[in-house]
Amino acid sequence: MKKLVPLLVDALLVVLFCAIGRRSHDEAILTGLLKTVWPFGVGLAIGWVAAVAVASRMRGAEGRGAHFDGTALWPTGVLVWFGTLCGGMVLRVISGQGTAFSFIIVAACVLALFLLGWRAASKVVN
């Protein structure tokens, strides 16, 4: 269960990001939240798969038993952030949702703050 905590934190932060976005545009938060969350949720899953794959590849290349760290800022956090952002934007385009340039910039910054920020803070605390 402890290994799933970083994934759950990321998922909650992605939902929070989407809820804040809906609220800031005076859109109904609960009724349309799933429509807003699903592209970023799939992107989050892509980022996590990439992070696990990279960690596995690094472990094999180094020839030792390094373990996957879901709280690591690099490479896990960066891959999760990048996957969430890029996957979310591509899926929003495919599904006909908006991807204005200003939205991409705001999403990149907020998702970085959320997905990288908690990892950086946890490293400082621990």
- Write the CA distances from 99 to 37, 93, 107, integer angstroms: 14, 7, 10
Q: Which residue has the higher pLDDT, 104 or 1?
A: 104
CA atoms of 17 and 40, how far apart (whole Å): 10
What's the pTM? 0.91
What would the pLDDT profile of 30-56 be if each residue is shown by its tens digit? 788 999 999 999 999 999 999 999 988
92 Cβ neighbours under 8 A, 6+ residues apart: 39, 98, 99
Average pLDDT of 12-35?
Answer: 89
What is the structure's pLDDT at 41? Answer: 98
From 28-37, 80-89, 102-111, the region with the lowest mean pLDDT = 28-37
Q: For residue 65, name the pLDDT band (cuts at 50, 70, 90).
A: low
* Domain regions of the chain by residue span: 2-125
Q: Is the pLDDT of residue 62 over 60?
A: no
CA atoms of 62 and 80, how far apart (whole Å): 22
